Amino acid sequence: MAGVQVSNVSRSFGAHKALDDVSIDFADGGFYALLGPSGSGKTTLLRQIAGFDFPDSGRIAIGGESVERVPVEKRRIGMVFQNYALFPNMSVADNVAFGLSVRGEPKATTATEVQRALDLVQLSKLGGRRPHQLSGGQRQRVALARAIVTKPRVLLLDEPLGALDKALRVDMQIELKRIQREIGITTIFVTHDQEEALTMSDRIGILRDGRLVQEGPPEEIYDRPQSEFAATFLGDANIFRGDATGDGIRLSDGTAIAAGAGAKLTAGARASCAVRPERIQISTGAGRSDAGGANVLNGQVSKRIFAGSNSTYFVDRDGQTLKVIIQNTGAERLAEGQDVVLRWSPESTVLIAAV
């Protein structure tokens, strides 16, 4: 087992910078999610770590040793590809055995190791099948078994659950997490799916246009996004733009919004505030005094979407549409067109420097 250190890595394809000075420390035994829009460089970063491609500059170390001159087959990594990449000319068991047999392990130990790996992914009965005779979820598990049977130092997963439907996906997330915890392997997991990243990983890195936008534990990124992009890419956020006042911002119409978290900015600079939709309370405004310095805005409900356990209200306010999510407790529902008051605490408000 070993951690992975990526230091100042850049990689260009022609004039296009696919990776731009990226530095991330992947801790030993951790589960790390790489998140970002399509084309942001997630796959490119994995390929640098795996050794399929090489950085123009920067350094990559696995287990503390630079791998600059180490070819793929010597890096001792396990990779699960987005399309699984199972060998169609081999049975499931031979696929899993491949990594052991190319390094000349004796037949007997190979067989027991393969059986153990297939047990781990709960496919012990399907060893004799060909890959094309498996379902998508089974293929994915074979790919995982094949990657971990060689006891790699690092497991690289490139959107391995991308092709699965929602129910299977959730099953596989749980199983993947269980296996990862069981063998305690450093795992780097690329995904498009923010929910997947939030639920599965100990740390998340958000990439955008080849740059690392923000990095940290899921709660920290969700609660304290450092940019509008991070705020809106991971989860939903209402963004207010204005001038910094020292402990918040002032909107163009003079309304002050207090922020209890985020950057410290000098007064007068351009800044934004981000608020999560579920942190805002919505009411008709009657019978409540404005206590405790909460942020208060008036608006009008323009749309309501009922989603079972919760409802999403879209509230128009001064040309901006705000999103509010509330739990459905059975209390009265607000009608479209109704005037409402929005309240939320400064602690739920994150101050972000404008770029």
Partner 1 sequence: MAAQGATATRSGLRSALPLLAPAYLWLTVAIFLPLSAMVFFSFMTELSLSGKPWAFTLGNYAAFFSQSLYLTLLLASLRLGLEVTLWCIVIGYPAAYVLAKVLKGRSREAIFLLVILPFWSNGLVRIFSWAMVLREGGILDTALNAVLPFKINIDLMYSYPAVIIGLVHSYVPYMVLTCYLTLQAIDDSLIEAGRSLGATRLQVLKRIIIPLSMPGLVAGAALIFVPVVGSFMEPRILGGRTGTFYGTVIEDQFVAVFNWPLGAALSFILLAVVLVILAVASPVLRRAA
Which are the contacts of 213, defined by CB distance < 8 A and separation ≥ 6? 36, 206, 207, 226, 227, 229, 230, 233
Nearer to Mg ion among residue 32 and residue 98 (C-beta): 32
Residues that bind Mg ion (CB under 5 A): 43
Q: How many residues bind partner 1 (CB under 8 A)?
A: 25
Question: 277: closest CA among 313, 330, 240, 245?
Answer: 313
Tell whether residue 41 is a contact of ligand ATP (CB under 6 A).
yes
* DSSP states along 225-283: -SSHHHHHHSS--EEEEEEE-SSEEE-TTS-EEE-SEE----TTSEEEEEE-GGG-EEE
Q: Please, which residue, 129 or 279, has the CB nearer to partner 1?
A: 129
Shortest distance in whole angstroms from residue 83 CB to ligand ATP: 12
For partner 1, what does the binding mask look like between residues 124 and 163, x meaning CB under 8 A? ----------------------xx--x-------------
Cβ(42)–Cβ(50) below 8 Å: no
Compare residues 43 and 194 and give the one whose CB is closer to Mg ion. 43
Q: Total binding residues for ligand ATP by CB under 6 A?
A: 12
> Is 172 strand, coil or helix?
helix
Nearer to ligand ATP, 139 or 208 (CB): 208
In whole angstroms, what is the distance from residue 6 CA to residue 54 CA? 12
Amino acid (one-letter) located at 220: E
Least gap, CB of 134 to ligand ATP (angstroms): 24
Nearest approach, Cβ of 30 to partner 1 (angstroms)? 20
Measure the CA–CA gap between 91 and 343, rounded to whole angstroms.
60
55 touches ligand ATP by CB under 6 A: no
Number of neighbouring beta carbons within 10 Å of residue 282 = 21
Q: Tell me the three-class secondary structure of 71-82, residue by residue.
A: CHHHCCEEEECC
Tell me whether strands 31-35 and 186-191 are parallel, antiparallel or unpaired.
parallel
- For tokens 């992975």, the residue is 4
39 is in the binding site of which of ligand ATP, Mg ion, partner 1, none (Cβ under 5 to 8 A by kind)?
Answer: ligand ATP
Q: From partner 1, Mg ion, ligand ATP, none, which one binds at residue 99 (CB under 5 to 8 Å depending on kind)?
A: partner 1
Q: Are 4 and 62 in contact (CB under 8 A)?
A: yes
Residue with the shortest CB distance to Mg ion: 43
Contact call for residue 287 and partner 1 (CB under 8 A)? no
- Rounded Cα–Cα distance for residues 96 and 90 (Å): 9
- Residue 204 gets the label, from left (phi > 0), alpha (psi -120 to 50) or beta, of beta
276 binds, among partner 1, Mg ion, ligand ATP, none (CB under 5 to 8 A by kind): none
Q: Identify which of 337, 339, 35 has the alpha carbon closest to the alpha carbon of residue 201.
A: 35
Please choose which of partner 1, ligand ATP, Mg ion, none residue 222 contacts, taking the beta carbon within 5 to 8 angstroms, the exact cut-off set by kind: none
Shortest Cβ distance from residue 50 to partner 1 (Å)? 6
Told to check if 77 binds partner 1 by CB under 8 A, we report: yes
Q: Which is nearer to partner 1, 128 or 268 (CB)?
A: 128
291 to 350, contacts with ligand ATP by CB under 6 A? none
Binding residue (CB under 6 A) for ligand ATP from 5, 40, 140, 227: 40
As measured in angstroms, the least distance from the Cβ of 16 to ligand ATP is: 6
Nearest to 146 by CA among 57, 81, 68, 50: 81
Residue 289, token pair as written in the block: 């005094």
Residue 73 as a binder of partner 1 (CB under 8 A): the answer is: yes
Q: Residue 146 binds which entry of Mg ion, ligand ATP, partner 1, none, with Cβ cut-offs from 5 to 8 Å by kind?
A: partner 1
Residues that bind ligand ATP (CB under 6 A): 13, 16, 18, 36, 38-44, 192
Residues that bind partner 1 (CB under 8 A): 50, 52, 71-79, 81, 83, 85-89, 98-99, 102-103, 146-147, 150
